[in-house]
Structure 1
Amino acid sequence: MFIPDILVSILQQVIDGVFLGLFYAVVASGLALVFGVMDIINFAHGDLIMISAYFIWLVSIALNIDPLVSTILLIPLLFLLGLGVQKGLINPVLGREPLIQIAVTVGFGFILQNIALGYFKAEPRGYPNPVFSGGFSIGPFVIYESKLVSAVLSLVILWLLNYFLTRTRIGLAMRAVTDDRASAMLMGINVDRIYLLTFGLGMVLIGIAAGLWMEMGQVWPYLGSSFSLVSWVAVALAGLGSVQGLVYSGLIIGIAESLGSLISPSVKMAVVYLIFFLILWFRPRGLFARR
């Protein structure tokens, strides 16, 4: 069956966009969890992904292991790092004016950027021999192993996150705090402990996103800026309280970005933001908000 070249190009971009969108959903999941439960505006989210990617790169190079394996090894450390950031940086500004939260988290992000610049310089770093570096063809379409594996693992991670939030006691407590903090406290939920666990879990999700990225690409000090923008767009499109909403918003962003690159690589994000503005014009609370 003959398929016109332009149709092949469009469908190829849609396939790549689906893979990218699932990855974006994981990138945004840590931000959505922290913002939903703690109501904290964390503008250092992308830079935390960036610095986690550097951690993963260092372990991969030192031990000569795949970034995905390094990510698994680093999960306990990332969780503890999340607890430390929450106790030392986030907890003092909880409940304060949004401007103070923004100033503190933006400043923290700049600190992480400058640490990366000072130690690693501006040169992109990547693991030279990832396990999933090949590709294969299905008819006229090319599937890259790294993108396929990232998409599959993203689905698994998001399913586990949804299961955790809807089927476990701690997850249900987090959802209760998200919906009504005062009522949750009256029901005997230790909100301070939930905040601590939430940021720790959010940091684990950040590390997983960084590991998936290092399987596909490279890290540099300004990588966090692009991830921060994409994450906020995904969270705003999805609305608060829905993992499924994050999946759909991630797919919208990924497919829009991929199709936009057919026009020009320099305007692909403009297509994403145009869709973002149009959707929020008609649905200011997002597409799948629970509150």
Structure 2
Amino acid sequence: PVFEKIFTSYDISMSGSENYKDFDLNFGSALYQQSTFLESLKLSDAQIDSVLKSVAQTMGLENYQEIAGEVEKQNDIRFEKLVRDKFPKTTVLELLQQFVSRKDDLIAKTVTDNAPIADIFEYVLGLAWYYISNKKLNIRSAYNLSLDADFLPLSHAAGYQGDLEFHYEDRTLMLEATLMDHNNQKRGELEPVIRHTVNLTIENGLRPTQTIFVASELDDNVINIFRATQFIELNHSSKRGATSGINIFALSISELIKLMQANINDRKILNTINNAMDSNPTQIKNNWRTPILESMTSL
């Protein structure tokens, strides 16, 4: 609404017929100046102030400091409408199954062809957790990947961030998504998932933090090492601080589908994982997840 008001209120040209050499090959031209967007439009503070007050009045707000928050609320409403209309639970379940069988063309046709399939998986994983939480979470704010104007995925999260972060009242959950097969997970996912979890755990201080790693197939070596990190002291990758251990659990996409189909909610999943944490160091053996998964699905 702010940009719409700016461009309808003032005579601003976004194109012209200037000689190419006068701007693109001239380092003294406006093209190469360190100007803000508003400076480049040659608008005064008074003009911008007038626009902001007008927009706030139109939106029924007392002052224009509230505009950003109101825009976020409207975007959340638009995003939830998109999810209801384009991605009902049945569609999300179909997409998850298509990731297992790698029907990439069908996935892109349903979601978007403007993003890599791995980024689309992050996006769909967020949608899945939205339904697992009984639609109680704001997943738009949880995404660390970029969304386009229609709230569809564009690009991957930055290397220092996890894929999705959900901030509950009593804990923080990070979801890490991968489509790497089990042969490549140790090389491609082991280090970044541990690093992201360590950093977030330290930054959260006393706030409980946990990660759920979701993949089309799971490598036993990787998930066993993840389990062992609950008793390893680990340091932050870029600042001072350490944690005495971290909490990482792994789910396959097929297991996630079964949890959704059984209507197992996020609280049951998270509490079951946390209640099954070992109190003392122990040898990690294959199939340690089996009783935990069985406990999740027991009603």
- Assess same fold via TM > 0.5: no
TM-score range, shorter chain: under 0.3
Instruction: Give the greater-gyration-radius structure (CA).
Output: 2
**Normalising by structure 1, what TM-score?**
0.27
Higher RCO structure (Cα 8 Å, ≥6 apart) = 1
Higher strand fraction: Structure 1 or Structure 2?
A: 2
